[in-house]
A and B are shown apart, each in its own frame.
Chain A
């Protein structure tokens, strides 16, 4: 049986709806991935613990709160602490280019701005995961 790409899709923070995260989750499923969807209001601790239990290849965060920098940083730290350093952390939201660049330098993968085609995310995940396991 071939290895399936497993992705955790989470919506951290307190802001209201998860439409964006659901669209992404559905697109990844339609691209043949196994998507673990955890719902709203997840703390970084909950996200990383779920990622650990589910043994995912990728964590995708949908962040629209403006608090993306501390959130991604906290998740990255917890990933390191829990031995998930080889898991790809990606995501999207209203994130200024300089923050994307900074978070990348700190260990996150590519982050995507609003309105990015989901197909772009799909190919990015496929390429990154295949590189990792090659």
Chain B
């Protein structure tokens, strides 16, 4: 069933893709089979992450970049992640409001995802969703993070190129420094360049980057755009293209893909283990620690062993 679904996804069936994305998000039966099939064809799309504080203009810039990429004939997919409420599990996913220009374009696919309890600005299934979009043959995949303003750093592990956005009155360099966002950027993008105060934001970014070990091409990598007027957006896409070419030519792209897979294997293993701790089968292990018969670490070892012996899962 899932290889059939994958065939439909690869042939451009958008309904099949939507279904497949739900399947990986819900960890529905068969989702591992689907991803196994997809991993073979993954690797072509440029995976670009956009992060930054709420209101910097992530959604607007995603839409503007999409407009530009479509002019160049690229097929574009967008994953827009918004937070789930930790209390109700509900989520209000509103990024589409800024992306309506592309709604009837068959070569643009937009999917809103709730973070579903994951920290770090993405959802647990984001990497898997990226693989499916890649298998569906998109050339460019744009990932908009939650943008909670702090610690949206996971995107750097999932994306090949990370853009951290700033704007007058929204995200500033000091905040980004504190949350570790500054370091994960490949490109620092000052949005709302139509606002007089944007130059000042750029100067602040440059001076804070100077304090550390700035790349040689720093000036090139701190970019000014106006997502709402479109100014600087074509040049930003040029910069993204140039970066991809450079990664490809140097072999760094293949290397980063390896690292990304390594990271995701760890995350997937952690997910399985966390699920195991949430079932009643781990009660006995917890009781042993409570009653002083073992330590937390002994219990963890035992849990690992029991997961290893029971996880038949869906073997190839």
Task: Name A residues whose Cβ lies closer than 8 Å to a Cβ of B.
Answer: 1-4, 6, 25-26, 28-39, 42, 45-46, 49-50, 52-55, 82-83
Contact = CB atoms under 8 A, between A and B. Distances in A.
Contacts of A50: 96, 103, 110
17 contacts: A1-B26, A1-B27, A1-B116, A4-B89, A29-B85, A31-B88, A32-B89, A34-B84, A34-B91, A36-B96, A37-B97, A38-B97, A39-B96, A53-B14, A53-B109, A55-B19, A82-B15
A29 B90 contact: yes
Interface in B1-36: 14-15, 18-19, 21-22, 25-28
Given A1-B27, A37-B97, A46-B104, A53 B90 contact: no
Chain A interface mostly helix, strand, loop or mixed?
A: mixed
Interface of B: 14-15, 18-19, 21-22, 25-28, 84-85, 88-94, 96-97, 100, 103-104, 109-112, 114, 116
A45 B104 contact: yes
Contacts of A29: 85, 88, 90-92
A55 B91 CA distance: 15
Contacts of A55: 18-19, 21-22
A35 B91 contact: yes
A35 B27 contact: no
Given A25-B92, A29-B92, A30-B90, A38 B18 contact: no
B104 A32 contact: no
Contacts of A38: 96-97, 100
Contacts of B111: 53-54
A3 B104 CA distance: 28
A54 B19 contact: no
A45 B14 CA distance: 15
Contacts of B27: 1
B243 to A, nearest CB: 28
